[in-house]
Amino acid sequence: MTRINDYLWHLPHDPEPGDPPDVALLQAAFNQPVADALAGPLGELGYQLKSSDVMVALDSQVDVDPEAGTELKNTYLANVRFIKYLLPDVIARVHVEHLEWADVVAGSDQHRYAVALDRFKLRDPVSQIPVPAWSGRLHTRLSHVPGQLMPRHPNEAVRAYATPAELAEQLVAFLAQFAQVGQPWLENPDTF
C-alpha cells in the first residue's frame, strides 16, 4: 500500500480516487526524475534509494481565494532519500527535498528544492533510531554553487527549476559537486 494515510504517500504511487492531484504532479515533476537520475550514479558510490514520498505540509495551507478568505488548500513536501552504511551503525544520507508546493498557487510551474547531507550513528541499525548528540553527527544543506560545500547565504542552499531539462542539468551538476566536496566531507572517518 503506497497511500499511507491522507497526509503521506510512498512512491511510486498509482493515483487513487480521492488523491489530491499534487501527489501525481510532484511524483512526475520531482520524485521520479530525481530517483531515476541519481539511483545509478549514487548506487555506484554505495548509496541506495531508501525512500521517496510526498507529504502534506501540515502546518502550512494557502488561501486560494484571499478575497473570500474561505478556501484553504494544502501545500506539499516531497522527499527522495539515499543512504549508505559507512559502518554497521553509521549511515550517510543524501536527502533531496522539494520545498513547500501546491498546484493551485501562482508560480506552481517553479519548483524549489534543496539537497541535505547527513551522517548519523544508529542506536539500533534495524529501527534506524539515531544516537542523540553523537559527536560525529553531520548535517548541512549543500550549496548550489559548484565546488562549494556549505552555503554562505541561505538562498545558496535552494535550487529552482521550471522544466525537466533544467532539473536534469542541475542533478548532473549536483553529482559532480557531491563527488568533489560532499562525499569526502560526509564519509571522512577522521570526523566520526
Tens digits of per-residue pLDDT, 27-80?
999 999 999 999 999 999 999 999 999 999 877 777 666 666 667 788 899 999
Average of per-residue pLDDT across 122-142: 89
| pLDDT above 80 for 137 | yes
Q: Which residue has the cell 502550512?
A: 60
In sequence order, the β-bridge partners of residue 49 are: 82
CB contact at 8 A, 95 and 118: yes
Residue 104 Ramachandran class (φ > 0 left, ψ -120 to 50 alpha, else beta): alpha
Average of per-residue pLDDT across 120-132: 87
pTM for this prediction: 0.90
Look over the chain and give the mean of its residue pLDDT values, rounded to a whole number.
90
Angle at 30 between CA 27 and CA 33, to 5 degrees: 95
| pLDDT above 70 for 167 | yes
Domain ranges of the chain: 23-50+78-191
